Amino acid sequence: MDFNDIQSAWNNDQNNEVKLPDNLNKIQSANTPLDKIRKNLRNEFFYQFISIAFIGFVPFMQGFPQTAVTPFYLLFAIFVAVSIYYLAKLFLFYKRLNKTTLNTKDSLYETYFDIRLNMELYKTFGFALTPFVILFSIGFVFYRIPEATAILTGNASNTVIFALLFVVISSILFMGLALEWWVHYFYGKYAKEIRKVIDELKE
């Protein structure tokens, strides 16, 4: 190998050394949105547990009649069981994120797809709770509007029927729109930032 070959090899090594830190910096730049996702998940668990506890005290705060308390808590127990199942899965996801170190392209890919998967899991969680929201809403309507119980005997007026239909439809629409906004605002936009880093590494 002559001097020109040695110099060419040296220049190639220098070029590789220049590119590596640049890629490493790009990969590590994904840590900022990842930290925000971790923070939002921590807050999420706090809000979810507070919300579940709050719902559990609704019969006492609203002065439900004794005949309504038992059905409420039967429904509430199923609601809590479903919530625990999904929150446990999200907690395991949070634990994985805490152990994640973004120092390679592979770890960045794995983390991104894990985030996307759990965003869909979160949406599934929300849709699984939608029937409970509808049932709680209908129960609240029956409690606040005694005339609504006439629907059980088939003697309800058109106004009551339309009111119940409105409650059901608006509950479904509200849950769907609220879920899409919530997931995008607290997780989706940060996942897009990580995706942007992945795309830059392809260039």
Per-residue pLDDT of the chain (203 residues; tens, 9 = 90+): 444 554 454 455 444 443 444 565 666 666 788 889 999 999 999 999 999 999 999 888 877 778 778 888 999 999 999 999 999 999 999 999 888 777 677 778 888 999 999 999 999 999 999 888 888 877 777 776 666 666 656 666 677 677 778 878 888 898 889 999 999 999 999 999 888 888 887 76
Burial tier of 33 (Cβ tally within 10 Å: 0-12, 13-18, 19+): buried
The alpha carbon dihedral of 67, 73, 79, 82 has a sign of negative
Contact in structure between 112 and 194 (CB atoms under 8 Å):
yes
- ∠ Cα 31 196 36 (to 5°): 35
